[in-house]
Chains A and B, each alone.
Chain A
Amino acid sequence: MTVILNQSFTGISIGAVLLLIALGLTLTFGQMGVINMAHGEFIMAGAYTTYVLQKSISSAGVSLLVALPLAFLVAGAMGALLEWLLIRRLYTRPLDTLLVTWGVSLMLQQLARDIFGAPNVQTSAPDLLTGNISLGGGITFANSRLFILGLALLCVLGLTLILRLTPLGRRIRAVVQNRDLAEVSGIATGQVDRITFFIGSGLAGVAGVALTLVGPIGPTMGTNYIVDAFLVVVVGGIGRLKGSVITAFALGVLQSVLEYSTTVSVAKVIVLVAIVAFLQWRPQGLYTLRTRSLA
């Protein structure tokens, strides 16, 4: 019983990390169709922002709190710049965005290597987040993992509220559902694209801050998560936050349960087979946006 509980909590915390990374992708990939391979490097930018802040602010707690909004802005600005420079030229060729942003990601990784050095660096977590909560009977939850879970849920809530309630959210949803109709209705779709990209990339930065609590910070840290995060969006369905949330936790728990009963590598393969099998049942993902589009 203890094992099952601990294992499913591990799964939930893997899911929380996945969710945090996939949230930004749900916007940029799910809603805009852009395959942004540099998303992983925006995560890295968020992580290095935390690292730099800790150099100047000695209190780990304060620096973490400052890092969250700052990383959002830094990664968001990078994303908006990328959108303005390259991606807006490529909306008619979504698949090519993958290769172009891959080139950008190579350059950003090298930039990080030149600035911060190739070896991984470490930040110190605030005292509050270093311990464990014990529920008795050998069941323990790591505080940092709980923090990530909370952060992920907070981001989902915030994003949902923005998309549902604000005029900006309505414009974003309109552009996603029918770009041409939105354009003739007087929505500046180009501007909406840039803001959407800013938010999506900014969320990657927040994910980067969270990742400093669970692992080292290095130039290639983004690559480790990016494919899994894309799979979450694919399985969750285009442009559906609900789908991403359910999928992230489902894949996290599945992965961790399989890892326990087999090995890490076999678990990866089984998860992939499960995803292909799932797409047989629902080719458009868990939740789909109904359109009259033939594509």
Chain B
Amino acid sequence: MTTTTTPTPSVVTPPPPSPLERFRVPAGFVLGAVLLLGVAPLVLTDFRLNLLAKYLCYAIVAVGVSLAWGRGGLMVLGQGVFFGLGGYAMAMHLKLADAATTGETLPDFMQLYGSGDGLPWWWKPFANPAFALAMTVLLPMAVAAVLGFFVFRRRVKGAYFAILSQALAAALSIWLIGQQATTGGTNGLTDIQGFFGYSLDDPVNLRMVYFIIAAVLLLLMVLARQLFVSRYGELLVAVRDSEERVRFLGYDPAGVKLVAYVVAAGMAGLAGALFVPAVGIISPALIGIVPSIGFVIGAAVGGRASLVGAVLGAIAVAWAQSELSDAFPAAWTYLQGLLFVLAVGFLPGGLASLGVVLRRRRAATRTTGESA
């Protein structure tokens, strides 16, 4: 749109906290931590807990989406790229470790499809666990930093940025599919057996993976919350709502946006890395355009600007997806489409804002009722 439209903040601001509400956030956090770390492992079967671990990985991505999109107004449609980079970095190490335990030097799929000239040079460093772990976060952050630097510096924004980040997701998944011999092609990296020396066939070790994922999610939520209430968090909201004014005040909006984008990318990378031991696979189908939009949709349905809303939305959509799509594939697709249309189109603050919207509507009808 070329006309001057003031970007309307699509977020319903919560009322200022009363003294009683000051403990709402820490109490809610403790409750969430108890549910995730205490109650869920007790009441859920191994199978369900493993599914929950998978949803929590999506929730970790949603923390980053809430930061970059909810607070920063950056529509990050390419989170699949960073999820994939983190996932592949982790999976490459685990595949190499698996191969080493059986005395091989090449991962199984390379023995099948590889050209037979040994391990590609860019696989070799991933045999080192410390390097691989660092790469799960640093590689996505580096890619985001390079793209973000060039894009934000030239003030490419809004729809253009969304389309570019989407194209990046398409390009990465097409590239991965094309490199059958070194990336596993369409299949991706599958059949991962161990996790730093622990067998993933053992349910006890899968429970351990769940605890790691839940702990990381809680940790990142604390981190994001601290960022939100910091000076930087306020600057980020200011850039979202009126980038030009922030520029006139002497700040550099490009730098502010870059930080949010890079942090969100790092979180998505970490989520991808944790997804691999929980699910045992990473493939181009998990990181292309469709899943990339999925990462954003979960946060949008729950409430992009509210951290808890985004996290719960991501978990709820992922849960509904796997519960309903097997039983009623056709009905679920219609329902999913309708959910996106209604949640994003008519409730921009997501389900997290439902209470505020209803309260405001009730208040409005009451006033009009009295005046009539």
Contact = CB atoms under 8 A, between A and B. Distances in A.
B260 interface: no
Interface in B303-348: 330, 333-334, 336-341, 344-346, 348
Given A268-B174, A272-B171, A96 B163 contact: no
A291 B162 contact: no
A269 B352 CA distance: 38
Given A234-B164, A279-B154, A86 B341 contact: yes
A230 B336 contact: no
B168 A272 contact: yes
A102 B340 contact: yes
B27 interface: no
Interface string B171-198: 1101111110000000000000000000
A92 B5 contact: yes
A109 to B, nearest CB: 7
Nearest to A95: B75
A243 to B, nearest CB: 14
Interface string B282-298: 00000001100100110
Query: Most chain-A Cβ atoms within 10 A of its Cβ — which of B10, B167, B168, B176?
Result: B167
A91 to B, nearest CB: 7
Interface string A208-240: 000000000000000100010011001000110
B334 A107 contact: yes
Interface in B1-50: 1-5, 7-8, 10
> Chain A binding site: helix, strand, loop or mixed by DSSP?
helix
Interface string A271-284: 01001110110010
Contacts of B171: 268-269, 272
Contacts of A292: 4
Interface string B342-371: 001110100000000000000000000000
A106 B4 CA distance: 32
A99 B151 contact: no
Query: Most chain-A Cβ atoms within 10 A of its Cβ — which of B1, B4, B160?
Result: B1
B178 A293 contact: no
Contacts of A140: none
Contacts, number: 154
Contacts of A223: 289-290
A242 B18 CA distance: 58
Interface stretch (A28-36, A131-139, A159-167): A28-36
A113 interface: yes
B1 A96 contact: no
B166 interface: yes
A263 interface: yes
A99 B300 contact: yes
A230 B166 CA distance: 10
A179 interface: yes
A279 B334 contact: no
A116 B160 CA distance: 35
A118 B159 CA distance: 32
B174 A265 contact: yes
A94 B158 contact: yes
Nearest to A38: B337
Contact of B4 (A98, A238, A266, A293): A293
B330 A33 contact: no
A103 B340 contact: yes
Q: How large is the interface on B (under 10, 10 to 19, 20 to 34, 35 or more residues)?
A: 35 or more
Contacts of B159: 29, 33, 35, 94-95, 98
Contacts of A1: none
A286 B137 CA distance: 36
Contacts of B178: 263-266
Contact of B177 (A99, A176, A234, A265): A265
A292 B159 CA distance: 19
B123 interface: no
A227 B163 contact: yes
Contacts of B174: 264-265, 268-269
A110 B337 contact: yes
B154 A280 contact: yes
A102 B330 contact: no
Interface in B242-257: 244
Nearest to A111: B334
B222 interface: no
A276 B296 CA distance: 23
A247 to B, nearest CB: 13
Contact of B156 (A102, A110, A113, A283): A283
B150 A33 contact: no
A5 interface: no
A245 to B, nearest CB: 19
Given A96-B344, A102-B297, A103-B340, A227 B170 contact: yes
Contacts of A3: none
Query: Most chain-B Cβ atoms within 10 A of its Cβ — which of A89, A102, A178, A280?
Result: A102
A100 B346 CA distance: 10
A129 interface: no
Contact of B348 (A93, A106, A277): A93
Given A102-B297, A103-B336, A109-B333, A268 B175 contact: yes
A264 B175 CA distance: 8
The 3 A-B residue pairs with the shortest CB-CB distance in the complex, in nearest-first order: A265-B178, A103-B340, A33-B1
23 contacts: A35-B163, A86-B345, A90-B345, A91-B1, A93-B8, A93-B10, A94-B159, A96-B348, A98-B159, A99-B297, A99-B300, A99-B344, A100-B340, A102-B340, A109-B333, A177-B2, A177-B3, A179-B3, A230-B163, A234-B163, A265-B178, A279-B150, A295-B5
Given A98-B77, A103-B336, A279-B150, 13 more contacts: A33-B1, A93-B8, A96-B344, A99-B296, A106-B337, A110-B337, A227-B167, A234-B160, A234-B163, A268-B175, A269-B175, A289-B2, A294-B244
